[in-house]
Amino acid sequence: MIRSLREVDFGRFLELARGESWSCDEAELAAFLAVLPDGCLVLEQRARPVGFVMAYRHERSAWIGNFIVDPAWRGSGLGTRLLEALLDRLDVLVPTVYLNAAPAATKLYRQHGFRPLGSVSRWQLRSSKDGAAPARGEEHLAGLLALDERCWSDRRDRLLRTLISGRYVLHDGHSGSYLAFGRVADHVAIGPFEMTEPSPAAARRVLERALGAATSIAGDTRILIDVPDACPAARAAVRSLGGIPISGTICMRRGAPVPIDFTRIGSFASMGSKG
Ligand SMILES: CC(C)(COP(=O)(O)OP(=O)(O)OC[C@H]1O[C@@H](n2cnc3c(N)ncnc32)[C@H](O)[C@@H]1OP(=O)(O)O)[C@@H](O)C(=O)NCCC(=O)NCCS
């Protein structure tokens, strides 16, 4: 049986997500549920949730994330059922659907009309050097919204407002860069990170500030960032700061093509695949 997600399901989902080492917490799930309750699905077997998939809606597109089936049930068609149920709902709402695919799942997505846009690397960074305590993000919201629309050709105000309200934002006036970061579970996640005038030096400048500021809010902890490989400025900067690539996904799109300027997108906004 496929039904809608409820808050009581969060614990079960997080248990499965931990098994995949995903960057995810309750706030992340609440954000999906608040935006598109009809797009958050649970598949039950013998009255127990064994599969989940969620969608987050922007103005002209939606993102699929948190797609998971209990390892004991994988390979028996449940994932396909969940994905198809969700796509049926999304296709009447938006012309374009995105996701960041685990390499092993790209075949399934291709079979459902998704095509690759480019690869994305997850980098792990660390900083032991304490930096300046960061400011909360609200004052930079207008600038970030304008740049984000230019990067994605879509309005993603709801996602950015929600993220910024719980994160810190750094702004670099020289390069017109905005970088947000915040604590998620046992680590700090960076995102969104976008640049008006991207360059390795500009990206490094703002990332270096972020590493110090992250230490001031969370101590010496893991810092994760999902960088599109098509953003050479951010790639060079994370590498020069000692970043280690720990995993990779493929960004895929189904439906109407949309121009996306990956050269300015230093990181995705959300590691739970809301874009
Ligand atoms: C991806 C996933 C949700 C698919 O669920 P499922 O119930 O196994 O899917 P199905 O049984 O309908 O199989 C559909 C396709 O999924 C892929 N798949 C099957 N088992 C898989 C596994 N253990 N790991 C990854 N992909 C798998 C295969 O391509 C399969 O197609 P095939 O049988 O024609 O080869 C599930 O395997 C899973 O939870 N994987 C770990 C988390 C993950 O990677 N999520 C996707 C993030 S983008």
Taking the C-alpha atoms of residue 48 and residue 90, their distance in angstroms, rounded to an integer, is 25
Give the number of the atom of ligand 1 that is nearest the alpha carbon of residue 100: 48
Convert the pLDDT of each residue in 107-153 to its tens digit.
Answer: 999 999 999 999 999 999 987 677 777 777 778 899 999 999 999 99
Could you give the residue ranges of the DSSP H alpha helices within 92-199? Answer: 106-111, 141-152, 157-165
Measured in residues, the chain has a length of 275
pLDDT single digits (tens) 210-251: 999 998 888 888 999 999 999 999 999 999 999 999 999 999
Q: How far does the centroid of ligand 1 lie from the alpha carbon of residue 59, in Å? A: 29
Give the C-alpha separation, 216 to 210, whole Å: 10
Closest-lying ligand 1 atom to the alpha carbon of residue 53 = 3
Report which DSSP code applies to 135.
P
When pLDDT is averaged across residues 63-92 and rounded to a whole number, the result is 97
Identify the residues whose C-beta falls under 6 Å from ligand 1: 20, 67-69, 74-80, 101-102, 104-105, 107-108
- Nearest residue (by CA) to ligand 1, atom 42, is 68
Q: Are residues 258 and 96 in contact, defined by beta-carbon separation less than 8 angstroms? A: yes
Contacts of 271 (CB under 8 A, 6+ apart): 22, 23, 24, 122, 184, 189, 191, 224, 226
Tell me what the mean pLDDT of segment 163-190 comes to: 92
CA distance 254 to 109: 9
Mean pLDDT in residue range 56-85: 97
**Ligand 1, atom nearest to 68 Cα:** 39
Task: Give the percent of the chain with pLDDT over 90.
Answer: 83
Domains by residue range for the chain, with CATH: 2-98 (3.40.630.30), 122-267 (3.40.630.30)
Above 80 in pLDDT, residue 97?
Answer: yes
Alpha carbon distance 246, 162 (integer Å): 27
